[in-house]
Structure formats: structure tokens, C-alpha cells
Amino acid sequence: MKDAPAPYYIAYEVQDRTVTDVSGRLGALIENLPRRMRVLRVEVRVGDYAFDSSRFISQGFGGGGGLNGETALVALDDDYDAIRRDIWITTDEAYKRAVNTFARKRAAFQNRSAADPLPDFSKEAPVELQLPAKAAGTARDLAARAQEPSVALGENPQIESSEISISEIHGTRYFLNSEGFKTIAPIQVASLTMYAEAQAPDGMPVRETFTTVETAVQDLPSTAELVARARALSSRVVAARNAPVGEEFTGPVLLEGAGAPQFIAETLLPLVAARRSPDSDSPRMAQGFAPATPFLSRTGLRVMADSFSASDTPSLTQFNGKPVAGAYVVDDEGVRAKDVRLVDKGRLVTLLTSRTPQKNFPQSNGHGRANGAWAGVFQLESAQAIPAAELKAKYIALLKAQEKTFGYIVRDVRPTGGASGAGPGIDQVVKVTLDGREEPVRGLRFGTVPPTAFRDVSEASQERVLYNYRGGLTSAVSVISPSLIFEELEIQRTRDILQKPPIVPSPLK
């Protein structure tokens, strides 16, 4: 435009994807027809690598955390002129927004002085990559895994609500930018969620959820496995319904089995991703929108117990004979994924980075995912690990040393869903006394987990568990972690608003 800067960077992404999903309740299936769409995202930057139109938010303008781009749907027909026109219009909108944002950002910085300014965008070597397509599942594959387990999930009349849902997203991602990057890669992710919910006599809701993510429907648990898991999950919910409410507690906690990687995903992964707060005409607003990573200034310092090491290995495709859903070859910004050693002997080595430079981390290491830096396949291990069967005895000994009369073993952690100011919820927890007896309890969640909590992990198991979860609509994250004993965590009671139980009994009785 006249009297406006020209773009110095343009990137196009098209996700040509089809979504197929099915859900089951008490054996009744709800099948949605496959839905295909082509989603275009255009990113335009004006300025230069040191200072550009990205990462800026302003009151009443530039929402979305400073993301500099536009998203639109494009034609499904392979009509060159129609698609080119959609891209042309969206590019025009993205450019005009970038020019407007750049003017506001430049005005906001006119009266500021920065002792050590950071560039807005890193220069990276162009990558051209085309990966082979993958075969999709069918609606029949999804239905076969949903119907029978949904019967088992809700067959106990004390279960008030239950469902199993399976979804697959399949397609191709095309990425191209003005620097010479070019990626054609398959999109394939399958997810499964089952839950059962009951209401305790005092009105407290009791719920447990099982979720898993794989690269294909065929990799999900078989129908027989899901039926067995559904019955076990339903039985635990009924037991928890009749269990006492747990006591609040601060002290040692044993995270066992899947509970450990679930907890790590909620608490540790955000600390090792180098995320930078957006710029703003109101610095307080920017900090509140997306605070910077606490570990940015901890390089070389102890962040975990001395025996622990952590890494992110996107190249790992198999673990204990199972596919690792979080593995990937190239990130969302077109940069090749790199295996990264994050923590060595308890000390922070580096962080996961994208093309947004951070202090001490000027370049990307191929982890530009989910609109920032994020993990792919995060692994945690201890050089002093012991067999999992010995952890409980070690835990009880620690309780005695701290003169506690009881402790908690957490076996399933509920994601916070992005909520701030609170620790993860707890789906499955037992109270353990000093003689080793276990009693299911309900109504508990973790308190706020400080970054320093990981310095005091006292024990870890030799056996490790793989946990896959959604890291975005079309990507997955994997966490591989041993069971862990934390010397001090806070467990609080939930503060739910309780509803009265149903007036009449369940029609399933």
C-alpha cells in the first residue's frame, strides 16, 4: 500500500482434512458423517526480523495473543482460480492487519528504551520436505470400538452418565513461505475418550475419564481391551461414590502408573517450553495474557533432583512396542524437529524453542507447535531408579520419617483444561496408612504446584509409562515418565457446588 511498509515475510498453510467421529451411550451409537474442509492460514509480517508486526496486543485490537495472520476456509474443489482467489483475499486482509498492528506497535515503543532488545523472528535455514500419505480409518472401525464398551461403561445403575467417543482427523498439511520453506506432510490423529459419572449421597459429583491419542484408529486399544477398561472404570466410580471425602494434606505424595506422566504433562512441560509474553501498549496486559516461562533464567541451575534427566525426542516412534503419537519430523513453522537434552543430572541445559527468540535462546530447535514452543515426545528418567514394586514401601518409610499418619497414592490425574491458578484435578486416589492399607477417597485436587517442587522428587521407578494426549487439533504430545515420589505436594478438597441427588431411582434399575 502507498506509504506503508511492504511485507518481509509471508507464509501459507493449508490443512486439507477430514474429521470422522462416533460416540456411544449404553450401546446406542451416534455417528456423524465425515466432514471435510480446507483451512487456510496466511501469516504476513512487515518490518524486519529484529522488529516486526508480530506478537503485539492492544486493548480493543490485535487479539489472539499477537498472532499475525488470518484464517479462512478455501474451496474443496480442485479449482485453481477459486483457490487462488481465496488465498489472494485472505493475504490482503492479513497484510492490512499487519500494517495496522505494526503502526500501533511502533508507536507504543517510541518512548521505551530496552537495554537488551530481542529480535521478533529468527532466521533459519530453509527446509523442503515431502512425507508419504497415510491410510485413513473408516466409520466402521470407530463404531466397532465404541458400541460394546459403551454398554459395559454404563451397565451399573449407579452410573448416572457415561459415554465413549472416538474421533479421527486425516488429511494433508501444506506449508510454504517466502524464505523457501516447503512442507507436505500427512495429518493423522485418532483420539478416544470414555467417562463415567455418578453422584455421591451428599450430592458430590464423582467422575473418571480415560483418554488416549494415537496416530491411527488401528492403534487404539481393541474392543476387548476397551470393554475391560470400561468395566474397571465404572467399578472405580461406583466405589468412589460410596467412599469418604479425602482430607486436605501437605506432604509426600506417590504418583503411580499413568498418574505420573499425566501430572508431568500438566505441570512440568509448560516450564521447559520457552514462551515469551507478547508485546503490548500495556505491559501489565501482556504479562496477564501469557506470562513468560519461569525457567528462562535458570539455565545451568538445578531444577530437578540430581539423579533426573529429561529430554524431548520427536524422532522416537516406538516405545515398548507401542507407537508414540507425539513423534514428528517437521514443526508447524517448517523447521526440522530436533532431539533436545533439556535437563542433565538435575540441571537445566536448554528449553524447547520456536522461531520466536528468547533471552539465551535465539534459534529454533524445531519445537514451534501449538502457536508457540511445545513438546513432542518428552522423556523423564532417573539414574537411581528402583523397581516399581518397591516404591510403596519407600513411600511409607518417608511418611514415617515426616511423622505423617497417612498419605495419598494418585493413579489418575485430570487435566486442568488450561485453567490458571489451580493444580490438576484427581480422578483416582487412595488414602494409604502406615500399615499399607489403601482406602479410596474422593473430592480432592492438587493445590498450586510451584516450579521448585521438582527439586524434591525423592524416588522414581525403573518402569516407565507412555501417555499420549492432544497438543492441538491435529497434533499429539507424548510423555514417558516413571512413577514418582514427591517429598512435598499440596492436596486440597474440591469446591464444587453440590446438587441434590435425583428424586426417583435410575430407570436402569
pLDDT along the chain (509 residues), means of 10: 94 96 93 91 96 85 58 95 96 95 91 81 97 79 90 92 94 97 96 95 92 92 95 95 95 97 96 89 63 86 96 97 96 97 97 94 95 95 96 97 97 73 86 96 94 94 96 92 97 84 79
Letter for the amino acid at 174? Y
- Give me the helices (H) in 310-440, please: 391-401
Placement of cell 516406538 in the chain = 318
Per-residue pLDDT at 284: 65
Nearest to 341 by CA among 314, 310, 380: 310
| C-alpha torsion angle, residues 90, 94, 97, 102 (rounded to 10) | -170
Using the 8-state DSSP alphabet, how is residue 77 labeled?
S
Q: Within 13 Å, how many C-alpha atoms sit on residue 503's CB side?
A: 0
8 Å CB contact between 419 and 446: no
Per-residue pLDDT at 261: 97
Using left for φ > 0, alpha for ψ between -120 and 50, and beta otherwise, residue 258 falls in alpha
Cell numbers found for residue 321: 512396542
Cell numbers found for residue 299: 539455565
Using left for φ > 0, alpha for ψ between -120 and 50, and beta otherwise, residue 508 falls in alpha
Collapse the DSSP code of 235 into the 3-class scheme (helix H, G, I; strand E, B; otherwise coil) and give the result: helix
Give every CB contact of residue 509 below 8 A, 6+ residues apart in sequence.
157
Give every CB contact of residue 323 below 8 A, 6+ residues apart in sequence.
214, 215, 219, 317
Per-residue pLDDT at 83: 95
Cell numbers found for residue 32: 456423524
- For the entire predicted model, the pTM comes to 0.94
Per-residue pLDDT at 106: 92
Phi, psi of 23 (to 5 degrees): -135, 155
Beta carbons within 10 angstroms of residue 157's beta carbon: 13
Distance CA 38, CA 243 (A): 49
Distance CA 420, CA 448 (A): 9
Distance CA 151, CA 340 (A): 44
- Give kind and range of the element (H or E) at residue 340: strand 340-344
> Which domains, ranges and CATH numbers included, belong to the chain?
7-20+32-130 (no CATH), 139-241 (3.30.2290.10), 249-493 (no CATH)
Phi, psi of 338 (to 5 degrees): -125, 140
8 Å CB contact between 178 and 216: no
Distances from the Cα of 233 to the Cα of 54, 90, 197, 210, 351, angstroms: 46, 47, 10, 8, 37
- Give me the helices (H) in 349-444, please: 391-401
Letter for the amino acid at 334? G
